[in-house]
Structure 1
Amino acid sequence: MFGFFSRKKKLKDTAYALFGQVVEQARLPVFYEKLGVEDSLDGRFDMICLHMFILLHRLQQEETDESGQLRRYLKEVMFENMDLSLREMGVGDLSVGKKVKAMAEAYYGRQQAYEQFLEEPGEFGEALVRNIYRGQEVEEERLKTIVQYVTDQVSALEKHDISHIYSGQQVFNRYPL
């Protein structure tokens, strides 16, 4: 019985460590300075969603209870973080729930779009334009670069032994671009 609680705590701790990596990777200046992602709350949210997709896509390939739990904990940590961030920005208590709900809907919509289009890089680029670039025109080279970045990260994670991820070790390529 106590093993269950310690395993659960370990997975929750891993989720916090992995989400920290998601945020750290999403904040790399190259996305905003070189690839033209808007350096704003929305732009950073979109980059967090993209990196969560990359990580969750790998975890989804493992059809185990542990993988399902870790995916759930990662999402919980993300939404806790959203709630806390909104409160720190001064959003009133009555509005936080509505804003988190809207962000959750946006997040799940992006996850579904990315999963659907990952197999076709041209169409995946369209999903990125719609979500990351908010429908604005994007230089073709920038779009190719970010599509290649995502496919490289997905490929690299697929090569990781799952125990590497469960241990909370570094999962993203550090200097991708």
Structure 2
Amino acid sequence: MFGLFSRRKKLRDTAYVLFGYVVDQARLPVFYDKLEVEDSLDGRFDMICLHMFMLQNRLEQEETDKSGQLRRYLKEVMFENMDLSLREMGVGDLSVGKKVKAMAEAYYGRQQAYEQALQDSEELAEALRRNIYRGNQIADEPVKMLVKYINEQVGHLEKLDIGHIYRGQQVFTPGSL
């Protein structure tokens, strides 16, 4: 019985480590400097959602209880982090729940959009224009570079041994950025 609890705790701890990698990767200056993602709370949230999508996409390929638990823990850690970040920014207690709910809806909408568009670069570019770039006029080149980056990361993650992920080791690569 205690073994089950320690395995769950280990997976939850791994989720914290993996989410740290998601945030670190999403904060790379190249996204904001070169790829014209808006350097704002919304822009950074969108980049976290994008990297969470790529990691979750890899975990979904496993179709095991362990990967399912880790996916769930990752989402829990992400929303815990969002809640804490909002509170640190001074959002009132009564508003935090509503804002986290709106963020969750945005997250799940983006996940669905990226999943549907992942196999087609043109569809993925359109999903990025709607979500990451929020419909702003952006030149084609930054969007194409972001699509290429996503395809590289997804390919890298697909080749990555699942044990690497379960051990909480770095999962992203700098890619062609």
TM-score range (shorter-chain normalised) is over 0.9
Q: Distance in 2 between matches of 1:134 and 1:25?
A: 20
Q: Which residue of structure 2 aligns with residue 60 of structure 1?
A: 60
> What's the TM-score once normalised by structure 1's chain length?
0.99
Cα deviation, 1:65-108, whole Å, max 9, x if unaligned, reads 00000000000000000000000000000000000000000000
Q: Secondary structure at the match of 1:142?
A: helix
Q: Which residue of structure 1 aligns with residue 157 of structure 2?
A: 157
Q: Distance in 2 between matches of 1:22 and 1:176?
A: 17
Q: Which residue of structure 2 aligns with residue 166 of structure 1?
A: 166
Q: Which residue of structure 1 aligns with residue 26 of structure 2?
A: 26
Q: Distance in 1 between matches of 2:14 and 2:40?
A: 28
Cα shift at 1:137: 1.5
Q: Distance in 1 between matches of 2:151 and 2:57?
A: 11
Quote the RMSD (CA, aligned, Å): 0.7
Q: Distance in 2 between matches of 1:76 and 1:157?
A: 21
Amino acid at match of 1:109: G
Q: Distance in 2 between matches of 1:168 and 1:129?
A: 31
Q: How many aligned positions are there? A: 177
Amino acid at match of 2:96: V
Cα deviation, 1:136-174, whole Å, max 9, x if unaligned, reads 111111111000000100000000010000000000003
Amino acid at match of 2:33: E
* Counterpart check, 1:86 vs 2:86: yes
**Unmatched tracts of structure 1, length 5 or more:** none
> What's the TM-score once normalised by structure 2's chain length?
0.99
* Counterpart check, 1:47 vs 2:53: no
4+ aligned runs moved over 6 Å, structure 1: none
Amino acid at match of 1:49: C
Q: Distance in 2 between matches of 1:42 and 1:106?
A: 11
Amino acid at match of 1:57: N
Q: Secondary structure at the match of 2:90?
A: coil
Q: Secondary structure at the match of 2:138?
A: coil
